[in-house]
């Protein structure tokens, strides 16, 4: 290698550096070294601003800052599913799609043609669920669920999830867990929207204090339908503040197809639903609906139910106490009775009861449809006074036998419950927790979808707590509980 080639590269670099210093000092070939952009002219609501970057040589360059509002959150536009922001300077509004976090509760959207949907005819719809803990998009079958009040302007919906014709299971929020479907309940008579869920939770707490290991004890709320508030939209239209509730069918009640399983629903006030007369073959017109039997033999479930009615009818005193457990779960039945007195549920004393059996012999009454609780009458237009639904007036033949033969047991049980979940403080805690999920904006939008019934200034959490306090005092006196 020659000396020339060895030194050529370093020499070239030296010459380049020399030339560039020479060029700078001559004021030619200056390369700007721009500093960071800094605010120069603040934008306003209507005029763009500027920011500036400067070089050491004194040159400056500019770039535009687009017009800028000072947006703050103003309100939730529940009807249009939006969060609305307003500029504090000029009043310009800007909307963003309402999120569940802003709403404070899950949002359910149903989409698709619903013209053929009735209580018998289910229709396929798309469903989007945006929960606080989980979300999903699926297809589903939906039908109207108001069994007895299909004329109510706000409908209940039964939702069955499916995916390509196969059942589809999702995880719901809270303690509801896995489900292949659920009910969307409008709580049409109850503008507080608190009663059905609050009451189910209270029944669950009551029933769970029994030291039992039956199928019912493993269900959320021991079979009473748990739920939570949701906003429901159908094809973009706001239907209202609903509650999403566990479906009260065989799966919701933990049935597995074992022989003997059956569910009846007392849906009317009849001689049969008050357990005074047995069902005939025409039972569908006698206030009792057969919801499920594990086998094809519907008659077996009806016969078993009739054996219970006949037993209650002909046995009093010792004979009743001796044999009642062969036909009815006495502990759960006493709990259901005390729960109904506690909540002043005048519409649940003989109807709105699910009669459930897991073995085809022993029936368990589960309170159902709990909107008319804490004194609210079935029509949603007025309240009954505390003490109106009283153990002094047995409303059905089973409770008549209880009042004759089980007064001591009922009093003992009341005392036990008073040392447990049945306190004003506990009821108030659950009620306020639910109520706290529902913002004023949601209340206002929901009220706009209701045209009748007691409105929120009367039907609210304060009424529930006040009713609970007075009714508990009444029952304490009746059952001789001193605390």
User: Which of 70/171 has CB closer to Zn ion?
Assistant: 70
Q: What's the closest the beta carbon of residue 82 comes to Zn ion, in angstroms?
A: 18
User: Which of 54/447 has CB closer to Zn ion?
Assistant: 54
Cα–chain center distance at 167: 22
Q: What's the closest the beta carbon of residue 161 comes to Zn ion, in angstroms?
A: 45
Q: What's the closest the beta carbon of residue 24 comes to Zn ion, in angstroms?
A: 10
User: Which of 53/92 has CB closer to Zn ion?
Assistant: 92
User: Which of 87/114 has CB closer to Zn ion?
Assistant: 87
Q: What's the closest the beta carbon of residue 16 comes to Zn ion, in angstroms?
A: 21
Q: What's the closest the beta carbon of residue 187 comes to Zn ion, in angstroms?
A: 40
User: Which of 89/319 has CB closer to Zn ion?
Assistant: 89
Q: What's the closest the beta carbon of residue 85 comes to Zn ion, in angstroms?
A: 10
Cβ pair 36, 45 in contact under 8 A: no
Q: What's the closest the beta carbon of residue 70 comes to Zn ion, in angstroms?
A: 6
User: Which of 13/31 has CB closer to Zn ion?
Assistant: 31
Q: What's the closest the beta carbon of residue 128 comes to Zn ion, in angstroms?
A: 33
User: Which of 55/114 has CB closer to Zn ion?
Assistant: 55
Q: What is the C-alpha separation between 160 and 25, in angstroms, rounded?
A: 82
Name the site residues for Zn ion (rule: CB under 5 A): 32, 45, 55, 57, 59, 69, 87, 89-90, 92
User: Which of 69/122 has CB closer to Zn ion?
Assistant: 69
Q: What is the C-alpha separation between 182 and 474, in angstroms, rounded?
A: 36
CA dihedral of residues 240, 152, 111, 76 (deg, nearest 10): -10
């Amino acid at each position: 290698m020659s000396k020339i080639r060895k030194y050529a590269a370093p020499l070239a670099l030296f010459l380049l550096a020399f030339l560039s210093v020479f060029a700078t000092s001559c004021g030619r070939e200056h390369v700007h070294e721009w500093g960071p952009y800094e605010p120069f002219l603040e934008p306003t609501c209507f005029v763009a601003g500027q920011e500036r970057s400067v070089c050491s040589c004194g040159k400056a360059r500019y770039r535009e800052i687009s017009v800028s509002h000072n947006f703050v959150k103003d309100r939730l536009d529940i009807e249009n599913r939006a969060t609305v922001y307003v500029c504090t300077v000029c009043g310009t509004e800007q909307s963003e799609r309402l999120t569940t976090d802003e709403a404070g509760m899950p949002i359910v959207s149903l989409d698709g043609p619903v013209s053929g949907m009735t209580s018998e005819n289910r229709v396929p719809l798309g469903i989007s669920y945006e929960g606080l803990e989980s979300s999903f998009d699926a297809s589903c079958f939906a039908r109207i669920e108001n069994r007895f009040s299909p004329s109510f302007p706000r409908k209940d919906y039964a939702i069955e999830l499916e995916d390509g014709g196969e059942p589809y299971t999702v995880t719901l929020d809270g303690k509801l867990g896995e489900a292949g479907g659920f009910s969307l309940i409008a709580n049409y008579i109850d503008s507080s929207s608190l009663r059905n869920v609050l009451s189910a939770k209270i029944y669950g707490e009551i029933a769970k204090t029994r030291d039992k290991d039956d199928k019912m004890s493993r269900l959320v709320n021991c079979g009473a339908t748990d739920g939570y508030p949701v906003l429901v939209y159908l094809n973009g239209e706001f239907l209202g503040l609903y509650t999403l509730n566990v479906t009260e069918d065989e799966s919701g009640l933990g049935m597995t197809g074992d022989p003997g399983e059956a569910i009846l629903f007392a849906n009317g006030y009849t001689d049969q639903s008050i357990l005074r007369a047995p069902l005939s073959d025409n039972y569908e017109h006698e206030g009792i609906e057969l919801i499920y039997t594990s086998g094809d033999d519907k008659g077996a479930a009806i016969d078993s139910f009739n054996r219970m009615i006949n037993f209650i009818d002909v046995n009093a005193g010792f004979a009743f106490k001796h044999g009642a457990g062969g036909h009815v779960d006495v502990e759960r039945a006493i709990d259901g009775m005390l729960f109904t007195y506690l909540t002043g549920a005048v519409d649940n004393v003989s109807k709105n009861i699910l009669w459930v059996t897991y073995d085809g012999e022993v029936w368990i009454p589960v309170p159902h449809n709990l909107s008319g609780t804490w004194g609210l009458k079935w029509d949603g237009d007025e309240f009954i006074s505390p003490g109106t639904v009283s153990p002094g007036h047995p409303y059905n033949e089973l409770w008549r036998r209880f009042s004759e033969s089980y007064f001591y047991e009922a009093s003992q049980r009341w005392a036990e419950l008073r040392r447990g979940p049945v306190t004003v403080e506990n009821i108030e805690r659950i009620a306020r927790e639910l109520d706290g999920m529902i913002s004023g904006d949601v209340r206002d939008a929901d009220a706009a979808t209701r045209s009748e019934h007691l409105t929120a200034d009367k039907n609210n959490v304060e009424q529930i707590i006040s009713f609970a306090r007075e009714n508990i005092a009444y029952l304490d006196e009746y059952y001789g509980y001193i605390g």
